[in-house]
Amino acid sequence: MGVSFNQVSKVFADGTVALNKLSLEFDKGEFVILLGPSGSGKTTACRILAGLEEATQGSVFVDERDITGLPPRERNMSMVFQNYALYSHKSVYENIAYPLRVRKIAKGNIDSRVKDIARVLQIEDLLDRRPSQLSGGQAQRVAVARALVWNPDICLMDEPLSNLDALLRLQTRTELKRLHDDLGHTFVFVTHDQEEAMTLGTRIAVLNEGELVQFDIPRRIYHEPATRFVAEFIGRPAMNIIEGEITEGLFKADVFEVPVTGQPDGPVAMGIRPEQIILKDGPTDEAIGFELDMLELVEPDTLLFVNKGNASMVVRVMRDVGDLVRGSQIHLEIPHRFQHFFEIGDGRRRL
Ligand code: ATP
């Protein structure tokens, strides 16, 4: 039971391939994130699920029923867009009640359902206002209330938080997560913000150039990225990637050398996340000497930009680094367990 995209492709009239054989399956009740850079096909996938866009090829199933050809109104899904349009001439109450009225729900029922969802979203005090009298965050919550009040099978959200300022965005994100935990709806949420994806998603579908690159729980997307693209897209600062060659258990890139285990000889890209590199106070058997090129304080962390020959890395240190200055020699450990290896050609993760 759930949703499945089966080899769905979308080619627009001008020849743009927005989706290329997308296959994706998820369960009812999940909070699925479609994540990827601009133009990767997230919105297109969402619109095809909603029935607002027709797939060029492939099919979409919900609960084992083929919905590919169904018009939007027969799909039992609601959608919240980035520019959610509330009806400006209707009160908040009437905006939320509207989908129920359209579905001819009995009057008494409408009142209790509007009030229930308003309570969950903490907008009970706003029910008499007009949309023009709301803050961005309040209007956003009204849009979510309107999308959920009629109990759709699936609620689709396309960058719903991107118009909000940073603080409000964080608060609304937390509210959405609570809402999902409480109500158990199926959410499909489009974003290009990896932090939003990591905090909200039960699973994240990473798209790039119309193709699904990885679909997994946030922890694995972060710790076991399937490709170099995912590795570099998720995490700030991005994972360090150094291209080099392994010879008999030693990875070399110019004068940078680090022992590796369980990897065959040959060219490879090695990855290590900035926060998983260990800054030592002085030379050790395992530590490698680097020159500190630049230092950025991003409280409470410090970012160290270091070089060794042609190899450059960023190190994130979560403590006071004392009197390190530009040009200092520093000693870094790159633990085996945090090393990632990707093929040079197609960027796939090496097992
Ligand atoms: P963003 O984060 O910028 O919204 P996205 O990942 O949601 O991007 P889509 O909107 O799905 O990407 O677009 C995927 C590709 O399809 C892009 O190259 C886009 O330019 C193209 N595209 C979208 N709509 C059309 C259209 N109507 N005609 C032609 N090309 C289109």
How confident is the chain (351 residues) per 10-residue block, as mean pLDDT?
94 97 96 96 96 96 95 91 85 96 90 92 93 89 91 91 81 87 91 92 97 97 97 94 96 93 95 96 92 91 94 91 87 96 96 77
Amino acid at 97: A
Using the atom order of ligand 1, give the atom closest to the CA of residue 14.
29
- CA 112, CA 90: separation in Å to the nearest integer? 19
Atom 18 of ligand 1, nearest CA residue: 39
Residue 310 in domain = yes
Atom 5 of ligand 1, nearest CA residue: 39
Using the atom order of ligand 1, give the atom closest to the CA of residue 19.
14
How far is the centre of ligand 1, averaged over its atoms, from the C-alpha of 60 (Å)? Answer: 19
31/135 same-domain check = yes
Find, among 177, 109, 112, 113, the residue nearest to 148 by Cα.
113
149/73 same-domain check = yes
175: which residues sit within 8 A by CB, 6+ positions away?
121, 122, 141
Residue 349 in domain = no
**Quick one: tokens of 163?**
């118009």
Atom 29 of ligand 1, nearest CA residue: 12
221/273 same-domain check = no
- E-strand stretches of 165-276: 186-191, 203-208, 211-216, 240-247, 250-253, 256-259, 266-272
Per DSSP, what are the bridge partners of residue 79? 156
Pocket test for ligand 1, best of 12, 20, 52, 204 (most atoms within 8 A of CB): 12
Residue 348 in domain = no
DSSP state, residue 16: -
What is the value of pTM for the model shown?
0.91
178/283 same-domain check = no
* Residue 179, phi-psi category: left (phi > 0), alpha (psi -120 to 50), beta (remainder): alpha
Which of 201, 233, 265 corresponds to the end of one domain? 233
Ligand 1: residues within 6 Å at CB? 12, 14, 16, 18, 36, 38-44, 192
Torsion sign (Cα): 319, 323, 324, 326 = positive
Residue 100 in domain = yes
How far is the centre of ligand 1, averaged over its atoms, from the C-alpha of 41 (Å)? Answer: 6
192/65 same-domain check = yes
165/264 same-domain check = no
- Does residue 237 have a cis peptide bond before it, meaning omega lies within 30 degrees of 0? yes
Give me the half-sphere count of Cα atoms (radius 13 Å) on the Cβ side of residue 317: 23
Atom 2 of ligand 1, nearest CA residue: 38
Counted domains in the chain: 2
Using the atom order of ligand 1, give the atom closest to the CA of residue 34.
6
- CA 351, CA 345: separation in Å to the nearest integer? 15
Amino acid at 111: D
Torsion sign (Cα): 339, 195, 201, 78 = negative
Which of 169, 203, 233 corresponds to the end of one domain? 233
Which of 233, 265, 300 corresponds to the end of one domain? 233
Residue 107 in domain = yes
144: which residues sit within 8 A by CB, 6+ positions away?
80, 121, 157, 160, 176, 179
pLDDT value of position 183: 84
Residue 211 in domain = yes
Using the atom order of ligand 1, give the atom closest to the CA of residue 45.
11
43/157 same-domain check = yes
CB contact at 8 A, 180 and 172 = no
pLDDT value of position 1: 65
Q: How far apart are the first and last CA of the chain?
A: 31
- CA 130, CA 207: separation in Å to the nearest integer? 38
CATH of the domain at 162: 3.40.50.300
What values do phi and psi take at 61, rounded to 5?
Answer: -120, 140
- CA 345, CA 126: separation in Å to the nearest integer? 56
Pairing of strands 311-317, 301-308: antiparallel
Q: Which residues form the domain of 129? A: 3-233
What values do phi and psi take at 253, rounded to 5?
Answer: -140, 105
